[in-house]
Amino acid sequence: MFEIARPVFLYVETPLHPGAGSGLGHVDLPIQREVHSKLPTMQGSGIKGTLREAARRCVNKDFPEEHLFAIFGPETAEANVHSGAVSFSDARLLCFPIRSLNGLFAWTTCPLALARLKDDLALAGQPLPDDLKTPNLSAGNCLLPNPCEVSVRDNNVVLEDAVLTGAGDCSDWAGKLSQLLFPNAADDDYWKSKFEKSLVVLSDTDFGDLVQRGTEVITRIRINTGTGTVERGGLWTEEHLPADTIMYSLALVGKPTRNGCNKSAQESWEALHEQVLAKCSRLQFGGDETTGKGLVRLVIGGD
């Protein structure tokens, strides 16, 4: 049983393909999605695997190999020996970038995403203020920050082909989320300011529809080096989350079960945080590593 929970925010810097295998629709290789909501997700096992590989590169006298196995578990062939001290929840979508008529793009979210975040931060011992209420919106309406750089005349906002009516203010949410996502004020001053002026809270219905249509679908080809033409079966399509997508996962830490390891859950978290997460603030997640895809910046909540 875990004793410590910490939020890990994932800021997508280059298009990300958390693959779901082959698809039955028009996209050959779709991304992972929740079954019931169809919102994008990324399996916790994939997050753990990426961090485990990063930890393997950090093995040294301060972070020896036995700590690696105690925290992440043994090699697959010995998975029955003991469990790892850390696991990660499936990543949830928090903010999704949508092209806007003003300000290039807006970061959009919805009441469902904000309610989930409140619950997960409370689980992690970092509850949001009581006066930060989960909004209630009907389709066609939205909440806008003040000031807002994506709004147009008469307090409306145009996102892709949708014209939405401003029905309230979300400056409180924009300010709080910007503190969580861009904690280094000096380094993140531009992004923090842009986020606070570009967050739009949509209804669950509008958010789900825009996210469903807002992912990137790219065409890939494989060339036959002998003929210089596309190989048979070497043409396919892949779905990606666009750059500037924001997700989060919970790092769940318990006491190591490896024989001879006397670390507490807190000591395991500190070792993981200081020796891995703090040194690997940018990692590659998902597929297509050699094409520059999947570069993600990690922000640890509560730092």
Q: Which of 22-36, 122-136, 187-201, 220-234 has the lowest mean pLDDT?
A: 220-234
Q: To the nearest whole number, what is the mean pLDDT of the chain?
A: 90
Q: What is the CA radius of gyration of the chain?
A: 21
More confident residue, 187 or 262: 262
The band of 209, judged by pLDDT with boundaries at 50, 70 and 90, is very high
> What is the number of other CB atoms lying within 10 angstroms of the CB of residue 230?
12
Partner residues linked to 6 by β-bridges: 251
Tens digits of residue pLDDT in 103-118: 999 999 999 999 999 9
Statement: residue 53 has pLDDT above 70: yes
Predicted local confidence at residue 24, as pLDDT: 55
Q: Which of 126-135, 143-152, 192-201, 220-229 has the lowest mean pLDDT?
A: 220-229
Mean pLDDT confidence for 59-88 = 84
More confident residue, 234 or 268: 268
Spatial CB neighbours of 158, under 8 Å, sequence gap ≥ 6: 100, 101, 102, 152, 164
The band of 219, judged by pLDDT with boundaries at 50, 70 and 90, is confident
The band of 23, judged by pLDDT with boundaries at 50, 70 and 90, is low
More confident residue, 94 or 260: 94
Q: Provide φ and ψ at 82, rounded to 5°.
A: -165, 165
Q: Are strands 151-152 and 162-169 parallel, antiparallel or unpaired?
A: unpaired
Distance CA 160, CA 112 (A): 21
The band of 22, judged by pLDDT with boundaries at 50, 70 and 90, is low
Residues 167, 163, 33, CA angle at the centre, nearest 5°?
90
> What is the number of other CB atoms lying within 10 angstroms of the CB of residue 278?
12
**% of the chain residues with pLDDT over 90:** 64
Spatial CB neighbours of 245, under 8 Å, sequence gap ≥ 6: 12, 16, 40, 93, 95, 96, 97
Statement: residue 177 has pLDDT above 90: yes
Mean pLDDT confidence for 178-197 = 88
The band of 302, judged by pLDDT with boundaries at 50, 70 and 90, is low
Amino acid type, 260: G
pTM of the model: 0.93
Predicted local confidence at residue 185, as pLDDT: 66
Cis peptide bond prior to 147, omega within 30° of 0? yes
Mean pLDDT confidence for 234-257 = 93
